Amino acid sequence: MDYKYVIDSIITRQAAYLNLTHQELEEKVQEARGRLTSCRLCPRLCAVDRVEGETGFCQTGRLSRLASFHLHFGEEAPLVGENGSGTIFFAGCNLGCLFCQNFDISHRAKDSPEVPPEQLAEVMLELQRKGALNINLVTPSHVVPQFLEALALAAASGLRLPIVYNCGGYEQVKTLRLLDGIVDIYMPDLKFADPAKAKEYCLAEDYPDKARLAIKEMHRQVGDLKLDTAGIARRGLMIRHLLMPRGLAGSAEWFAFISREISKNTYLNIMDQYHPCGQARRYPELDRTITRAEYEQAVETAREHGLTRLDRRDQRSLRNLFRLL
């Protein structure tokens, strides 16, 4: 373990939101709830009245839609430990990635049930009872108010786990600021650096600009990732970068940005797991997995930019992949 990034487990045991008073947390809930009446939670700026049941790009109205929840052992090692990450998959998404591995969940939100805040709070508490190390919110960008409502209830009933904000990086800084003092670990997945490719494959031409601003705000709030003495993530920024065939994701540009404008100490997971899902096979340039050469080049490029705090799972998963080919 690199003890440069380790902080005392006793100091970091308390989740950030537990430092807020009940009134401070309730004020955040009220402010977030108020933004649903003309929704501008994400860069889509749909301005629909979700309180009245209107839906915009994310297909989600007043209540969040829950796809599934469970202890997840496939996340990065600092999030999993021996007990697993308490993962909550929300249906719907503010991105339109045509290659999404959870295409049915993200593009067909209305196939998943709506859940009131009381039920979502109970989900968090159940994951805690099962031994989860954290509450891992997957695709939460469009349901920040709903999450905060549930968190207030769960905290009042004994929730003590840190919060992981596991998103696609397409965020509105104003919304992220509502989460200052709430989220312990931010984990965005950087996608396309080229606006034209982001528009074609994610329906979001402004993705690169919005992602850069969002990651700067995330890092301002929580800093570089810190681990406790058991190697478990307690607070900080973790960045995922999904490699795409033929360098379509613009990896070198993202690595330069992270090194220059965030921190060379950023915990980075260079993911080799891409495979054609959803509508990807309609696009010849997306219709294959990542090659060994593409992965090795990405790792080399990251290191050239001074990014050496790479997730160790990268090497393990790649070896397993090529053993099967």
Mean pLDDT (whole number) for 33-38: 96
Look at residue 13 in the predicted model and tell me its pLDDT. 58
Mean pLDDT (whole number) for 31-35: 96
The overall average pLDDT reported for the chain is 92
Mean pLDDT (whole number) for 32-60: 97
State percent of the chain over pLDDT 90. 86
Mean pLDDT (whole number) for 123-140: 98
The predicted-structure confidence for 90-116, as pLDDT tens digits, reads as follows 999 999 999 998 888 888 878 889 999
Which residue did the predictor score with more confidence, 101 or 206? 206
Look at residue 218 in the predicted model and tell me its pLDDT. 98
Question: What element of type H or E holds 202?
Answer: helix 195-202
Residue-range domain boundaries for the chain: 3-324
Mean pLDDT (whole number) for 111-130: 96
State percent of the chain over pLDDT 70. 92
Residues 237/186, Cβ–Cβ less than 8 Å: yes
The predicted-structure confidence for 253-300, as pLDDT tens digits, reads as follows 999 999 999 999 999 999 999 999 889 899 999 999 999 999 999 999
C-alpha to C-alpha distance for 123 and 121, rounded to whole angstroms: 5
Q: Which CATH class is domain 3-324?
A: alpha beta
- Going by the DSSP 8-state scheme, the letter that residue 104 receives in this structure is H
Look at residue 2 in the predicted model and tell me its pLDDT. 58
**What b/e readout covers 185-216, taking b as 16+ CB neighbours within 10 angstroms?**
bbbbbbbbbbeebbebbbebeebbebbbebbe
Across 22-157, the runs of DSSP E, i.e. the strands, are: 64-72, 85-90, 114-115, 135-138
Q: Which two tokens stand for residue 135?
A: 């509450």
The predicted-structure confidence for 58-79, as pLDDT tens digits, reads as follows 999 999 999 999 999 999 999 9
Residue 324 has pLDDT above 50, yes or no: no
22-34 and 144-156 are packed helices; what angle lies between their axes, rounded to 10 degrees?
A: 160
Look at residue 124 in the predicted model and tell me its pLDDT. 98
Residue 9 has pLDDT above 50, yes or no: no
